[in-house]
Amino acid sequence: MSEFSAVWTPPGGAFWAGSWRPPAVPLEVRDPENGTVVGTVSDCSAADVDVAVRGVALSVIEGEAWPLWQRREALARAAALLGERSDHFASLISREGCKPVREAGREAKRAVETVRLSAEQAHCLEGSTLPFGDTPRSGGRVGWYTREPVGVIGAITPYNDPLNLVAHKLGPALIGGNGVVLKPAEQTPLTALAFVELLLEAGVPAGRLAVLPGRGATVGAALVSHPLVDMVSFTGGYATGDAVARTAGAKKTLMELGGNGAVIVLPDADVERAAQAVVDGAFGAAGQNCLSVQRVYAAPEVADLLLDLVVAGAERLVVGSKSDPVTDIGPLVDEAAAERVEAWVSQAVEAGATVRAGGKRDGTFHWPTVLTDVPAGSRVLTEEVFGPVVSIQPFGSVDAAVAEVNGSDYGLQAGVFTRDIDSALDVAHRLRVGAVMINDTGDFRIDAMPFGGSKHSGVGREGVPFAVEAMTEPKIIAIHRAG
Ligand code: NAD
C-alpha cells in the first residue's frame, strides 16, 4: 500500500442517547502530515455533555439489565470484528494520527488483545463470603460481597494511541457493567467513532455508550465536573491531569499521565541489544509515547559503543510519509509540537549539549535526535519531550545513575541492561517507577499488566484486569437470621 484508502465518513459527528448526531458545530480533523482535512466530527458543547451523561446514567440506573454473559459475548464479538477490520482501523489511526501505517497496524492488533482481555475478565468478576462468625457481635449473620459497577465512567483519551487507549477504557468499563461517556482527543476522534460504531454492532446496548468529540476545555471539563459522572478515567499530560483532578474533586479518578523514560546500561550489558532497544523505544511513534525512552545513563566502559550504535540506528530510520510502508518516523501532532521539540533541543545545545544525530525539523517532522553532554536541568532531561529525542550520558556510579532516574518528577517505567541478576534486581528495587524492565527499555508493556506510575506519571493503575477492579466496587449483602 503506498496510499491511504478513501477517507472514512463516520455515521455521525457524535453519538449519545442511542443516536448518531450530525455535527451542529463542525470540528475538522486534519492529517498532521500535510494539513488536509480527513474528516469532520462534532465540536460538542457542555450542554451536549449534560444530555449524554444523563442518558447514560438513566440507562445504567433504570435501563434494561445487561447481564455479565451478554457483556462477555458483546466484547468477544467486538474483538473478533476488530481483528477482521484491523486494516481499516490501522488506516484510520495513521490517517488522522501520527503513526506510519505499519506502526498503526501494530496498534490495531494490540487493541484486539485489549478487547479480548476485557471480555475474559467476566470470569474474574467474583466476590467472596465474609467471615461474620469471627466476631461475637455478628452472631446469626451470613454475608458476601460482589463486585458492582461504579456507574457512569467519564473517559478522556489522548491522541497518541487513538484506538488502544480508548479500548483500555471502554473494554474494562463495559465488562464491569458501567456506562461510559468518551471524550476522545480532538486530533483523533475518527478512530474513536469507528470503534464505538463497532461496539454497538457487536451488541453493546446503545444507551450504555456515548462519544462526544470536542475540546478539552468544554467537553472534557463538562464531563469531569458532571455530578452524574461517578468516575473519571483520564489519560493525557500531567498539567491536564492536574487540572482534571482539581475539577473532579472527591470523585473517583484513574490517571495515566506522562513520563520521561530512563534506561540504565551497566558495564556487563549486551550493548547491541541495549542500543536497538533504545532506538526502538526513543523513536517509535516519533517519540509521542508516554513510555518513550528519553534519558540513557550508561556505564563509562560501554557508553561510547552504545552511543555509536544508537546514532547509527537513528540514522537508518526512514522519516517520511505515513502511508508509505517503509516509513519508520511520521510527523508530530502539529507544527507547534515540532517547534517546541526543536526549541528544547536548541536550548540544550546553547547550554552545551552536542547533537550526534538528527537535530533537524521540517514542518511537523522532527528527525530522530541523539544528544550528549546535556547539562543537568535541561528541559530535554527534566520534562517530557514527547518527541524523537534521546540523551545519552555516562554515569559516575550506579548509585548516581539511580539518583538521576529517581530525581525526575516522573516515574512511569524504566529499563536496566545487565547480565548480572543481582545488579539487575538491586537497581530494580531502588527505582521509584511503576515498572522496571530488565534487558528491555521501559517502552514495553503487555495490556494485561498493571500499568501506571508514581509521582507525576499517574494515580492508580490501568491494564485490563486492574482497570476492571478500579471500575467496580465491592458491595456487601448480609443476612441476619431470625431467632
Ligand atoms: P493532553 O493532556 O493535552 O490531552 C488529553 C485529553 O485531555 C484530550 O482529550 C484533551 O482534549 C483533554 N483535555 C484537555 N484539557 C482538558 C480539561 N481541562 N478537562 C478535561 N479534559 C481535558 O494530552 P495529549 O497531548 O493528547 O497526549 C499526550 C500526553 O498524554 C503525554 O503527556 C503522554 O505522556 C500522555 N499519555 C499517557 C499515557 C499513559 O498511559 N500514562 C498514555 C498515552 C499518553
Please give the pLDDT value at position 5: 57
Strand pairing partners for 413? 435
Please give the pLDDT value at position 441: 98
Pocket test for ligand 1, best of 43, 161, 211, 290 (most atoms within 8 A of CB): 290
Please give the pLDDT value at position 6: 60
Compute, in angstroms, the gap from residue 237 CA to the centroid of ligand 1: 5
Please give the pLDDT value at position 8: 84
Cα 194 versus chain centre, distance: 18
Mean pLDDT throughout 361-385?
A: 98
Q: Is 254 in the pocket of ligand 1 (CB under 6 A)?
A: no
Residue 387, C-beta contacts closer than 8 angstroms, at least 6 positions apart: 286, 287, 288, 332, 337, 338, 340, 341, 344, 366
Q: Which grid coordinates belong to 229?
A: 459522572
pLDDT in tens, 74-126: 999 999 999 999 999 999 999 999 999 999 999 999 999 999 999 999 999 99
Mean pLDDT throughout 249-268?
A: 98
Nearest CA to ligand 1 atom 20: 220
Mean pLDDT throughout 238-247?
A: 98
DSSP letters for 10-22:
-S-SEEETTEEE-
Q: Is 383 in the pocket of ligand 1 (CB under 6 A)?
A: no
The model's confidence at residue 139, banded by pLDDT at 50, 70 and 90, is confident
How far apart CA 335 and CA 316 sit, in angstroms, is: 24
Q: Is 186 in the pocket of ligand 1 (CB under 6 A)?
A: yes
Cα angle: 373, vertex 378, 379; to 5 degrees: 135
Asked whether the beta carbons of 112 and 82 are under 8 A apart, the reply is: yes
Closest ligand 1 atom to residue 187 Cα is 26
pLDDT at 288 over 80: yes
pLDDT at 431 over 70: yes
Q: Which grid coordinates belong to 114?
A: 485489549
Please give the pLDDT value at position 1: 37
Closest ligand 1 atom to residue 223 Cα is 20
DSSP 3-state of 248: helix
Q: Is 371 in the pocket of ligand 1 (CB under 6 A)?
A: no
Closest ligand 1 atom to residue 247 Cα is 19
Closest ligand 1 atom to residue 452 Cα is 41
Phi, psi of 413 (to 5 degrees): -140, 160
Asked whether the beta carbons of 12 and 50 are under 8 A apart, the reply is: no
How far apart CA 15 and CA 193 sit, in angstroms, is: 8
Mean pLDDT throughout 46-61?
A: 98
379-411 burial, b at 16+ Cβ within 10 Å, e below that, comes to bbbebbbbbbbbbbbbbeebeebbebbbebebb
Q: Is beta strand 26-30 parallel, antiparallel or unpaired with respect to 37-42? A: antiparallel
Cα 470 versus chain centre, distance: 16
Q: Is beta strand 458-459 parallel, antiparallel or unpaired with respect to 128-129? A: unpaired
* 17-26, 129-138, 340-349, 460-469: least confident range: 129-138
Please give the pLDDT value at position 4: 59
Dump strand ranges (E) for 92-213: 128-129, 141-149, 152-156, 179-183, 209-211
pTM of the full structure: 0.97
pLDDT in tens, 435-444: 999 999 999 9
As a whole number, the mean pLDDT across the chain is 97
Residue type present at position 421: I
pLDDT at 151 over 60: yes
DSSP 3-state of 35: coil
pLDDT at 434 over 80: yes
Nearest CA to ligand 1 atom 23: 236
Please give the pLDDT value at position 7: 72
Catalytic positions, please? 256, 290
